[in-house]
Amino acid sequence: MSAALRIPPPRYPRKIVETAHVLERAAALPRPLVMTNGVFDVLHRGHVTYLDQARGLGAALLVAVNSDASVRRLGKGDDRPLNPLADRMAVLAGLEAVDLVVPFDEDTPRALIIAVLPDVLVKGGDYSAQTTAGAAEVIAAGGCFAAIPFAFERSTTALVERIRRAAGAR
């Protein structure tokens, strides 16, 4: 007969940090520090590939996540986000590539990016340094900006539309 196993608590919560404590926690991460941001509403292969590639650009990856109110202001739809902020952050924190997750409530994470000043600021292939909040400040401080090309044509918005069409066909 085997001994009963003690189920350990999940490890991901320690990767989630309140905005007020992000500078202290980010300072403890190894450099170069990579930072990105997004909604990450329904995590898909495109997100996972992107985050893994972003992490490969440095020694640690910080992901800033739009609050629920911030997502609604983006105009993605009245019912978005589908997953609440706490769930979206937990899923991201559970990924090996992600070292720290922090929420932001503003329309853009510009203030957060300027406060953290990562060594590398990363966005998807449809962004440029000119269209990315905080990129000019990161570059002026000696950091760099990288746009990661899409490896897989995936979109949460397209996925949600496909589900809606399928549900309507029933």
pLDDT digits (tens, 9 = 90+) for 11-61: 999 999 999 999 999 999 999 999 999 999 999 999 999 999 999 999 999
Q: Is 79 helix (H, G, I), strand (E, B) or coil?
A: coil
| CA 147/CA 21 separation, integer angstroms | 27
Give the pLDDT confidence score for residue 88 in this predicted structure: 98
Identity at 44, one-letter amino acid code? H
The answer to whether the beta carbons of residues 61 and 98 sit under 8 Å apart is: yes
| CA 40/CA 60 separation, integer angstroms | 19
Residue 121 has a CB neighbour count (10 Å cut-off) of 31
pLDDT digits (tens, 9 = 90+) for 4-22: 899 999 999 999 999 999 9
pTM (2 decimals)? Answer: 0.91
The domain made up of 12-168 has a fold known as Rossmann fold (3.40.50)
> In sequence order, what are the beta bridge partners of 63?
36, 101
Q: How many helices (H) and strands (E) are present in the chain, helices listed first?
A: 7, 5
What are the domain boundaries of the chain?
12-168
Maximum CA extent, the chain: 64
Give the pLDDT confidence score for residue 163 in this predicted structure: 79
